[in-house]
Chain A
Amino acid sequence: MLQLSPFASNCLFFTSFAIVTTLFGKLLLHIDINKRTYNHVPGECGVIPNLPGILGLTTSTTGRLYMTTNSKDINTDQTHLFTFYSDNRTAREIEIRGGPPKWRLTPGALSINSETSNPNVFVHNKRTNNIDVFETNEQNDAWQYRKTFKDEQFEGLTDISAAGLNSFFFVKSSIFGTNFALNIIERVVPIPTGYIYFVSGNNIQQISRVSFPTGIVYDSVKKSIFVTSSTRNSIYRMKVQVKNGIEIVSSKEYDLGCSPSSIWKDFDGSFLITCHPVKFRYLLSLFNVITSSPSLILRVAVPTDKDKPLTITQLYSNDGATISNANVTVRAGRSLLISDGTKILNCHL
């Protein structure tokens, strides 16, 4: 037993006390114990009937909205692809043509590339943990299978953003994707355990580490990727360029003030972001202590000038009674679609 002098032991105690107290205080502030939501709708809102929740959502340049849905029955594996028509709020199932023998698709995250007249859709196939690419035909709501990207790194993929006909970015939120307790720690403690990858042809390249990324968007006009970090309450803008592979030229982090769970790029270049405004209620709902937690939808414009702040507008806010833990949002015409995984809320803008 090391014998410390009384003075040294006092110093050690008070220093440890200060460090532990500071960390605990920061943690309490971090999980938003003094925050709450106030309800706000942009227009008339209603739940779309007879339609399960959204797992993935994307649009083509023509405004065509594609979404993947899951069944409310968790035991069955009935995931489907739909085209959504916002004018009459109906959905039509997509026919998939081609594909390898015995191939089945369980779609997760998806993204669209509009370089050709028939946009290509990149879909994370959660059954095979591959990325399947389809060529769309918007005349008859059919997708033609084109190819598959295979890599073991696709396991645990959170979001994907197409960069070209044969290239895309994707993020993985965590190292411990399947371990619930460790995953919770990763959601709360802001250490960069998440990954950002770039895939081009057969090459896969890890380009950065971010703390719990939840969404990614590649903007070809700005030659930047935008990544939301749930733990840091922030959005990153990373300028990328192709040299020997792809590399990040510069990176800038902007504070959102809430915990983002998804990101979608609108046609004017702004982003629609879903957020957890009160983090401790979100954590409690993960542990099933409470049945709902608040939802928040923001429109975020990231300025071209690095020194200017974000322009943030609130589009929707709810205490969880109407929609809980919203995790996907998209605009289709004058409709704002919000999903929490079990239902789709349609709000008139």
Chain B
Amino acid sequence: MLKIVLVVLLAFLVQYVFKTLLMFDINKRTYNHRPGQCRKVDGPVHGSEDIAIVEELNLAFITSGLAYLIEDPTQVTWKGQIFAYDLSKKTYKAESIPIVNLEDGDGFHPHGISHWIKKDGSVRLFVVVHSKQFRHSIAILDFDKTKWQLNHVKTVRDDKFVRPNDVVATGENSFLVSNDGGAQTIIGNAIEMFTGFFKGGLVYFDGKNSHYLLENTVANGIIFSRDRKTLFVSHFNQETIGVFAWDQKKITIKKISEIETLTGCYNFFIDNEDNLWSGCHPVLKDALGHLGDATNPNLYSQSQVLRFKFSSDLKSTEMVEVFSDDGRFTAASAIAATFDNGKQLLIGTVFRDLTHCDIDVPLDF
């Protein structure tokens, strides 16, 4: 009897070790290719984790200076910033926009970003913010085009913003927030990863109150389709993309499908043709090594840009790899956004610089 228990335990241990090895992608690698000429953009050096492209202004807002799972606030020597990049000409230079009336300027380390066009035509930004002590909030900023500054409107804090990663606006004061886990420390995050009991999820904030839409999962990047009827959620650790039907009136989601990408996709972008773009991490073990010690230039991880063209029923997708790098040029891609009718591409990284590429290869074939 005892032997049977031991054998069962041993079998469980074996399959657990094997699943963990698969999760870490120990037998994967990337092969470099670029869609055209690629250049670095001056400006962001310590991260370009998320990009919001405002087509009405031909402008891209880029969050930079992410501080993540910080255990020693004195290690955070970099500054959190939001950069603006003019998409109408190839300047390859992004400017940091001043943020006015911030409560805690030193505690501003932006993560995910989303934008909303207000009724008067001006742009409102929703930004996931972490402080040096790894406290979380959503900052609402209005873009003043004339003075070229961001005016802080409000900071939203909520118990359900457990560990926010990305945000997507649904109105002038309402938004969806993704939590990519529940742990606040590196050890806790490791335990969450290894046990598979994820505490992340999806939270809706209606301007006053918040409630859960998804719980006990990993939610990284989130975005709506152009018609705002479909919500895409990146489950990073599970290497899948969840596709949900979104009902704005009832504030509900209904699962349509789950796409297996076999690569860890981060943040999302929807292009003019309703294709989904994402910056991905093909090899998780290298990504963890790089993200765990982001200031070490000898540690880098692979970058991958994928474009997903969904079938009409949203149950399957055709994946095109637009960009792939072993990390020496672009390390740990987090977001990919196209503009100029799909002829140009911005690739943002978690803790490094921003890459601007031309797209000279066909993507439909």
Contact = CB atoms under 8 A, between A and B. Distances in A.
Interface of A: 10, 14, 17, 21, 25, 28-30, 32-36, 38-45, 257, 296, 298, 312-315, 317, 322
Interface of B: 3, 10, 14, 18, 21-22, 25-29, 31-33, 260, 262, 304, 306, 318-322, 324, 361-362, 365
B31 A314 contact: yes
B148 to A, nearest CB: 39
15 contacts: A14-B10, A29-B26, A34-B25, A34-B27, A36-B262, A38-B321, A39-B318, A39-B319, A40-B33, A40-B321, A41-B361, A42-B33, A42-B361, A313-B32, A322-B365
A336 B262 CA distance: 28
Contact of B320 (A17, A38, A44): A38
Contacts of B33: 40, 42, 313-315
A45 B365 contact: yes
Interface of B is mostly: mixed
B307 to A, nearest CB: 9
Nearest to B31: A314
A253 to B, nearest CB: 16
Given A14-B10, A257-B28, 16 more contacts: A17-B10, A29-B22, A29-B27, A32-B27, A35-B27, A39-B319, A40-B322, A40-B324, A41-B365, A42-B33, A43-B361, A43-B362, A257-B31, A312-B31, A313-B33, A314-B31
Contacts of B306: 38
A35 B18 contact: no
Contacts of A30: 27
A28 B18 contact: yes
Most buried by B among A39, A41, A315: A39
B202 to A, nearest CB: 26
Contacts of A40: 33, 320-322, 324, 361
Contacts of A322: 365
A314 B320 contact: no
B81 to A, nearest CB: 32
Contacts of A17: 10
A314 to B, nearest CB: 4
Contacts of A317: 321
Contact of B31 (A21, A43, A313): A313
A317 B33 CA distance: 11
A34 B238 CA distance: 12
B177 to A, nearest CB: 29
Nearest to B23: A34
Nearest to A255: B29
Contacts of A41: 361-362, 365
Contact of A39 (B3, B21, B321): B321
A21 B14 contact: yes
A41 B364 CA distance: 9
Most buried by B among A38, A40, A296: A38
Contacts of A44: 362, 365
A25 to B, nearest CB: 5
9 A-B pairs closest in CB distance: A38-B321, A314-B31, A257-B29, A314-B33, A40-B321, A36-B262, A38-B319, A39-B320, A34-B22
A279 to B, nearest CB: 10
A314 B306 CA distance: 15
B253 to A, nearest CB: 27
A35 B321 contact: no
A313 B361 CA distance: 15
Contacts of A14: 10
A88 to B, nearest CB: 22
A43 B363 CA distance: 9
Given A25-B18, A29-B21, A39-B320, A34 B28 contact: yes
B32 A312 contact: yes
A298 B29 CA distance: 13
A10 B7 CA distance: 11
Nearest to B25: A34
B151 to A, nearest CB: 42
Nearest to B13: A21
A43 B361 CA distance: 5
Contacts of B318: 39
Given A40-B33, A43-B362, A35 B28 contact: yes
A35 B318 CA distance: 16
Nearest to A44: B362
Contacts of A29: 21-22, 26-27
A45 B32 CA distance: 20
A9 to B, nearest CB: 10
Nearest to A278: B262
Most buried by A among B32, B318, B322, B365: B365
Contacts of B365: 39, 41, 44-45, 322
Given A17-B10, A21-B14, A314 B324 contact: yes
Nearest to B34: A313
Contacts of A38: 304, 306, 319-321
Nearest to B304: A38
A257 B33 CA distance: 16
Given A21-B14, A312-B32, A314-B324, A34 B262 contact: yes
A45 B26 CA distance: 33
Contacts of A34: 22, 25, 27-28, 262
A16 to B, nearest CB: 12
A30 B22 CA distance: 12
A42 B361 CA distance: 6
A196 B322 CA distance: 39
A320 to B, nearest CB: 12
Contacts of A25: 14, 18, 21
A244 B111 CA distance: 68
